[in-house]
């Protein structure tokens, strides 16, 4: 560090602006939440409207609403076509309730009170490597969100929002045409499998998750029209997993486990896999900026890492498996293909 006294030089204005904006990032997070929570994108689904019209439709206080809309223009959720005429950007439209690829439920989880409380202790996770979530809430993330039906809905609706899109990404990024039985381990409410089964009429699927989650998935899978080809199995990844698959999928599962826990799960998967079976591991790609943010979420939430290709190669090797391929996708998800070593 320099001992020189400050000279009073003007700092780089662009860098200054960017840092001010980063420091105010919490306002961005909360604005995105407000847009999702108050249904601003839903109110704009039939076309542009004035601030008063949106405020009335969304139950917002008029004078405040105009300021909020101006800020939403600033962060790229709305555009102002002409004075007092707002419409959603592509990003804003993803906050609507009923739109392909809606991220509304994901936003509501990420900006929820339990998550906001967790982030206040991020520094503690950075210091110790331990998940602040447990320190703040006294229990791990899954036990917490399985505690009651309201919390369960908040968490699993968010997972569904991701899986509806990432199911399409996997469908288009890997050749499932010869896969007879695909098992989604920790598959939540089943949208990844639904996407695969809808695209492959000969395929059967097994959805595997904890008992209360499978209970919640039953009507979702039944209503999707592929229920007759999808078996629902409740169980624990740390005990054993079903054995009939020729493809096993772990999407967003290993990222929330440290090496010891991940190896326990992988040992059970390997045990279940036949010599010709394939394991697909799908996690965010830490080569992308959004992937690195997801890694921070894992640090503060679970104390675990989102792994690089090298880390996966090493991890699966220790589990008696061999990484054969890493596949980039158009999403933040990267696919790692493994077989028995």
Binding footprint of ligand SAM on the chain (CB under 6 A): 142, 159, 162-163, 186-188, 209-210, 213, 236-238, 251-253, 256
What is the smallest separation between the CB atom of 336 and ligand SAM, expressed in angstroms? 14
Smallest distance from ligand SAM to CB 209, Å:
5
- Give residue for tokens 């010891």: 260
| Cα–Cα distance measured from residue 204 to residue 314, given in angstroms and rounded to the nearest whole number | 31
- Which ranges constitute the DSSP H helices of 176-244? 191-199, 211-223
Q: For residues 197 and 230, is the Cβ–Cβ distance under 8 A? A: yes
107: helix, strand or coil:
helix
Closer CB to ligand SAM, 251 or 307, in the complex: 251
Residue position matching structure tokens 């391929």: 325
Query: How many residues are present in the chain?
Result: 341
CB nearer to ligand SAM: give 132 or 213.
Answer: 213
Q: Which of helix, strand or coil describes residue 37? A: helix
Using the minimum distance from each CB to ligand SAM, give the nearer residue, 28 or 234: 234
Rounded Cα gap, residues 78 and 65, in angstroms: 13
Q: In whole angstroms, how close is the CB of 17 to ligand SAM at the nearest point?
A: 36
280 - beta bridge partners? 249, 337
Enumerate the β-bridge partners of residue 234: 209
Nearest approach in angstroms of CB 185 to ligand SAM is 7
Paired sense of beta strands 321-328 and 204-209, if any? unpaired
121 versus 257: smaller Cβ distance to ligand SAM: 257
For the bound state, the minimum distance from the C-beta of residue 76 to ligand SAM, rounded and expressed in Å, comes to: 26
CB closer to ligand SAM, 107 vs 162: 162
CB nearer to ligand SAM: give 87 or 259: 259
Residue 186 and residue 253 in contact, taking contact as beta carbons nearer than 8 Å: yes
CB of 163 to ligand SAM, least distance (A): 4
| Shortest distance (Å) from residue 159 CB to ligand SAM | 4
Nearer to ligand SAM, 131 or 186 (CB): 186
Contact between 197 and 172 (Cβ < 8 Å): no
Q: What are phi and psi of 314, to 5 degrees?
A: -70, -45
Decide whether 68 or 169 has the Cβ nearer to ligand SAM. Answer: 169
Provide, rounded to whole angstroms, the least separation between the CB of residue 27 and ligand SAM.
Answer: 27
What is the distance in angstroms between the CA of the first residue and the CA of the last residue of the chain? 51
- Residue indicated by tokens 């009507």: 219
With beta carbons less than 8 A apart as the criterion, state whether 338 and 281 touch: yes
> Are the C-beta atoms of 227 and 196 separated by less than 8 Å?
no
Q: How far is CA 164 from the centre of its chain?
A: 11
Task: Name the residue whose CB lies closest to ligand SAM.
Answer: 186
Tell me how far, at minimum, the Cβ of 254 lies from ligand SAM, in Å.
10
């Amino acid at each position: 560090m320099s001992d020189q006294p400050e000279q009073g030089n003007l700092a780089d204005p662009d860098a200054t602006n960017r840092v001010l904006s980063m420091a105010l990032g919490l306002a961005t997070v909360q604005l995105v939440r407000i847009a999702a929570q108050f249904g601003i994108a839903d109110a704009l689904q039939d076309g542009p409207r004035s601030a008063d019209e949106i405020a009335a439709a969304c139950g917002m206080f008029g004078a405040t609403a105009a300021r909020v809309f101006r800020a939403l223009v600033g962060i790229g959720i709305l555009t102002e076509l002409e004075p007092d005429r707002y419409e959603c950007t592509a990003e804003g439209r993803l906050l609507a309730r009923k739109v392909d690829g809606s991220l509304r439920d994901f936003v509501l989880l990420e900006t929820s009170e339990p998550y906001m409380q967790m982030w206040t202790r991020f520094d503690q996770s950075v210091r110790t490597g331990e998940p602040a979530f447990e320190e703040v809430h006294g229990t791990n993330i899954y036990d917490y969100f399985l505690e009651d039906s309201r919390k369960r809905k908040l968490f699993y609706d968010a997972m569904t929002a991701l899986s509806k899109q990432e199911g399409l990404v996997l469908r288009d990024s890997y050749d499932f045409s010869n896969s007879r039985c695909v098992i989604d381990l920790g598959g939540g409410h089943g949208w990844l499998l639904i996407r695969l089964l809808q695209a492959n009429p000969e395929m059967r699927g097994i959805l595997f998750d904890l008992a209360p989650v499978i209970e919640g998935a039953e009507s979702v899978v039944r209503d999707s029209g592929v229920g007759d080809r999808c078996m629902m199995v409740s169980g624990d990844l740390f005990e054993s997993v079903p054995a009939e698959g020729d493809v096993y999928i772990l999407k967003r599962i290993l990222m929330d486990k440290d090496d010891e826990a991940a190896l326990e799960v992988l040992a059970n998967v390997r045990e279940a896999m036949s010599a010709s079976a394939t394991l697909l591991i799908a996690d965010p790609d830490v080569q992308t900026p959004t992937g690195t943010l997801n890694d921070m979420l894992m640090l503060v939430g679970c104390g675990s890492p989102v792994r690089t290709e090298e880390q996966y190669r090493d991890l699966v090797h220790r589990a008696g498996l061999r990484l054969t391929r890493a596949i980039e996708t158009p999403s933040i998800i990267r696919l790692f293909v493994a077989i028995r070593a």
